[in-house]
Structure 1
């Protein structure tokens, strides 16, 4: 991380993303009426909300033909991002293909470099440390997982088992 960055390091990894967890950060799942199609470069990307922050699903952000230029353009317009539906990196998932994880790596690189606050929301464990167990994803290279883990290390973590006693300090 570049010295002086503060936006990216204010981000959080949240599992499973309950209303109470999200509400502690002032985040509320967008309604269907907030959905929009943005065209950062040459093709449209469906987002769940694009007001004060960009709220987008992992599948929409990383599962299609998006590029680094798309992420850079969107980062210029939104200083806070919420990416929900992030699959567990160490489990099989149709939306977590090798190409999707490469795009995700590109997203994280852009957001880190441009100091964009990032909230990641997923149902399962969001741990990018390369696993040594049999369920380890064979289609994601360990170096990719290590790179993602390194980039995301400044982000806080909130998990279902974590107490909410200090919830008022999470968003600060």
Structure 2
């Protein structure tokens, strides 16, 4: 069945951006089927049940690239893409709002105020916003998430929500040695019932090959920074992304799937904190960081934020492309924390190396 997704993928094969890969072809077939099913209309105005897709396999096999293409081409207008941890953070925030809110505040957020159980109003709100949920890197390590997921997704599925998921683990391997895992197993069963499960274990992501073939650290004014972004973007449209952090909205103006482009002033020139940077690192597998200046002692707060941002990206094994006024060792030569900044410079050298790309997350 011809779809926009198939055409976009085939174009990358034809232009040499991708090499033919049987595992990716199978995944594209499943995602194309999902794209087609999302356009179906049920009888008598009912929304039909649509089987989602769950892609799993080792890092670097192109799962995020496939999800990027699928999300850009998916015909469903009410769609949302998020790193799974970011999604669950929002769910816990909504549950807290329901439990702590009075009648007026509940009504303002959820459209209703009745009942003690927050799962139904939270699921109703999420389903009203998005029919298609696309998750990157579904993994479950937190017992609070494990105990919640079964009931939450039962409620979402009852409302016609469809999933497209990437993960490094097969469904039956999720929360493998977790506490009270038997209470989590119904969620695993529901995933396998409501999603077509496919392993993606073929060649490495073409984006890694493209990035490894060039540089990841650029001098101010070097237009190859834009060229690399455009190459990785392909036909995908740029769009703003909204991240919810501790009840606040954090906007990133230029994103495409799991990639983001942001200026130093946007991320480090304003009062963002560790939770903001963790949310960015979790949501995006690749960050293009532009216009990084040489910082003098008067800009120590920006230097500290930059250190926190780099630490978050490092721990998340994210990919980093930088355009800066100097090399890593010369970005903050003197001032409060300059000695400690040497560790950040070392991490920047590591993160813009071919070895880092080989180990970065999908």
Which TM-score applies when normalising by structure 1?
0.64
> Offset of 1:99 from its aligned partner?
0.6
Deviates more, 1:12-21 or 1:58-67: 12-21
> Are the structure 2 counterparts of residues 70 and 40 from structure 1 closer, same or farther at C-alpha, using a change threshold of 3 Å?
farther
Looking at structure 2, the residues matched to 64 and 115 of structure 1 have their Cα atoms a distance apart, in angstroms, of: 24
> Offset of 1:126 from its aligned partner?
2.6
Picking from 316, 324, 329, the partner of 1:114 is 316
Structure 2 portions without partners, runs of 5+: 1-58, 61-207
Match of 2:283 in 1: 77
- Is contact 1:36-1:46 (8 Å) kept? yes
Match of 1:126 in 2: 327
- Is contact 1:55-1:83 (8 Å) kept? yes
User: 2:273 matched to 1:67?
Assistant: yes
> Are the structure 2 counterparts of residues 130 and 107 from structure 1 closer, same or farther at C-alpha, using a change threshold of 3 Å?
closer
Looking at structure 1, the residues matched to 331 and 256 of structure 2 have their Cα atoms a distance apart, in angstroms, of: 35
Match of 1:50 in 2: 255
Structure (1 or 2) with the larger CA radius of gyration? 2
Aligned length: 139
Q: Cα deviations across residues 80-136 of structure 1 (Å, max 9, x unaligned)?
A: 0011010024xx498xx11111010001111111100001112x22332588xxxx4
Equivalences for 1:3-152 in 2 at 5 Å? Answer: 12-23=216-227, 26-28=228-230, 34=238, 36=240, 38-41=242-245, 42-52=247-257, 53-89=259-295, 92=296, 97-122=299-324, 124-128=325-329, 136-138=333-335, 140-152=336-348
Q: Cα deviations across residues 126-149 of structure 1 (Å, max 9, x unaligned)?
A: 332588xxxx433x4332321211
Q: Which runs of 4+ in 1 moved over 4 A?
A: none
Compare the two structures and name the one with the higher helix fraction. 2
> Offset of 1:77 from its aligned partner?
1.3
Which of 1 and 2 has higher RCO (CA within 8 Å, sep 6+)? 1
Computed over aligned residues only, the root mean square deviation of the Cα atoms, in angstroms, reads 3.5
Which TM-score applies when normalising by structure 2?
0.33
SS of 1:28's equivalent in the other structure is helix
- Is contact 2:289-2:322 (8 Å) kept? yes
Looking at structure 2, the residues matched to 99 and 84 of structure 1 have their Cα atoms a distance apart, in angstroms, of: 18
Structure 1 portions without partners, runs of 5+: 158-170
Looking at structure 1, the residues matched to 265 and 229 of structure 2 have their Cα atoms a distance apart, in angstroms, of: 20
